[in-house]
Structure 1
């Protein structure tokens, strides 16, 4: 498989995700009751929420741990084409106006700051407190045990609880319950197990109990969130395309 053909297939993954992903407004109660929520919004002011999600066959990420799935999605989200302009303006100084600072966060001593694409890991998640491009900081992460049937996630906060704008992105993977097929009791062909990837999000004004300034660009946010999500999915599924190319050479 040629490199140009591989790039074409990768672009296809992006546009397929744009078409197949679902955008809804509610997020999970677990997210809104999380430590990240309390760090970003300690006074529990009104929030706006939304959720982009996509289901796809579990076989598409066979052999990948939850941590690697989240790391690949992270590298696509922050390292992809769609985030490129925001990445550029943060690097030339906008991050000084929108620093990711939280009075209630205790960073891991091993936390790092990432400014270059080459430093974005796609095999593991960075320690809590690590910062991307000056404005996105890891607030929490949880990797579920393989047999626990719970979700794995990583939370990236932006803004500050001392400013008038802040929020959080949660990247989450939920794998299928292994007991679904066995409980059905059907002798027929069982449906293929599906994995769910989510981008959950909330934003708020931590200083005043009023909607954040971002509510004036809600339509733009809808389009931007879907495209960033698609870059994350593209990064995750490109790995399978690259592996197929290797085996066909």
Structure 2
């Protein structure tokens, strides 16, 4: 009996069945330097973010919100500034393989999806639609909009270089945590997403914490803590986000975090 040639439909179904596992396998290779065993996760966020003006911007009415965070410690040269760490992290986060499907969809829509009353008088300074605009050394400007869906609304840079903040450009007052020791450096960038009054709105905060105390002349590296926090104003979606969608979010956020950190570790 002659063998039947595979039809286009059969090949298509085979591809669809194999593509996701192969894709995840590829991403797993890319993030192998950031094992989940070295990452701490929590269903909470820092007081610094919870009490920040960014949090009030995206949730002015105080609706119920879901919170989560994940962090890890990495050892880096003191020559790598906090801005470089955050810039690299954002490049890995938004430019990596896990975010690629969302990136394609958002770019295809080509729409501005971030709308908040507190931002109505602030023009978008830069539209980022390509990963080619994601730098490894410098952060995007205040009010830059990523793929129409994530807007830079605040940042603060501490660390070895001189401190800079979004507030210096007339924006939200930076919310560096007062509970940290004077010798602790804390840098962050906040991205708002969603629509005020819509079904979902929230903030992503990427941050770097490091010990700024005196070190010996032989010490060339230090541990820095990289953290990704998320607060989502769930309004009437609390039950849904606490179920299947919430589980997917935690899984997805972990992959994005690992890609961000993996980019930080690259030379």
TM value normalised by structure 1: 0.77
Distance 1:173 1:119 in 2: 22
Structure 2 residue matching 1:17: 3-state secondary structure:
coil
1:56 paired with 2:74, answer yes
Cα distance in 1 for partners of 2:143, 2:121 equals 4
Kept in 1: contact 2:186–2:207 (CA 8 A): yes
Which has the higher Rg, Structure 1 or Structure 2?
2
Aligned twin of 1:170: 205
Stretches of structure 1 that go unaligned for 5 or more consecutive residues are 1-9, 183-189, 240-249
Number of matched pairs: 215
2:231 pairs with 1:231: no
Partner of 2:119: 105
Q: Which runs of 4+ in 1 moved over 4 A?
A: 10-13, 106-110
Unaligned runs of 5+ in 2: 1-26, 161-181
More helix by share: 1
- Is contact 1:107-1:129 (8 Å) kept? no
Partner secondary structure for residue 88 of structure 1: helix
Matches within 5 A, 1:22-33: 22-33=40-51
1:67-100 CA-partner distances (Å, limit 9, x unpaired) = 111011001100011100110111111x64x801
Residue 232 of structure 2 is aligned with which of 203, 207, 224? Answer: 203
Query: Shift in Å at residue 47 of structure 1?
Result: 1.0
- Greater Cα shift, 103-112 or 155-164: 103-112
Listed as ranges, the matches of 1:1-249 within 5 Å are 14-19=31-36, 20-57=38-75, 60-93=76-109, 96=111, 99-105=113-119, 111-144=125-158, 146=160, 149-178=184-213, 193-205=222-234, 208=235, 211=238, 213-216=240-243, 217-239=245-267
| 1:202–1:52 distance in 2 versus 1, CA, 3 Å | same
- Aligned partners of 2:42 and 2:69: how far apart in 1? 5
Q: CA–CA distance in 1 between the matches of 2:239 and 2:195? A: 12
Q: Distance in 2 between matches of 1:145 and 1:64?
A: 10
- Is the 2:159–2:186 contact (alpha carbons within 8 Å) kept by the matching residues of 1? no
Which stretch shows the higher mean deviation, 212-221 or 158-167? 212-221
Could you tell me whether the CA contact under 8 Å between 2:70 and 2:228 is conserved in 1? yes
